[in-house]
Amino acid sequence: MDFFDRLKEPGKLVTGKGRLKKNLGEQINGFEVWDELRRMLLDEESEYWDLYSPVERDEFIFQILFHLCLGGELCQYEDDLEPYLKATKLLYKDVISVSKDPETQHIVPTSLVFKAVAKTKNGQSYFPFDEDNPQNFCYLIIDPVKRVVTVIIHQFGSSF
């Protein structure tokens, strides 16, 4: 997928061998950040923040990468970029349906993706709890052709 080619350019987020460039580590938005990929995802001050426009960052495939890279509270991170890209592509292909546009002959997604948040009358979110945490999410992916809804949910935090 061309969408992620810019992440693979040696010298930016990865070394020539595809390993993520490390940094000294710091807390950004409640996440421990030890590499340039996570810094690019979380820190608007990152020199690589502009690799993706705000519109591209809103695309579902970018959101999948974002969630997989940040992981959960007990996550063990990868040192290479490729496992993240592979998992992102597999998950995306598993939940998004496509068809060929008869006019342009391009492959286009037919699934609809919605980010769901349930709130009380007062506007307090109760599902997912603490909607301000980017790792608390619920996506509804609707395939209008097959009439199937796929749900992807994650609540950040340990269950222990």
* 12 is a domain residue: yes
Task: Name the more confident of 101 and 130.
Answer: 101
Predicted structure pTM score: 0.90
Range of the domain at 81: 2-154
pLDDT band at 1 (very low <50, low <70, confident <90, very high): low
* 142 is a domain residue: yes
Question: Percentage of the chain with pLDDT > 70?
Answer: 98
Average pLDDT in the 128-136 region?
A: 86
* 33 is a domain residue: yes
Domain count, the chain: 1
Residue 160 has pLDDT above 60, yes or no: no
* Residues paired with 141 in a beta bridge: 113, 150
* 159 is a domain residue: no
* 149 is a domain residue: yes
Residue 113 has pLDDT above 80, yes or no: yes
* 160 is a domain residue: no
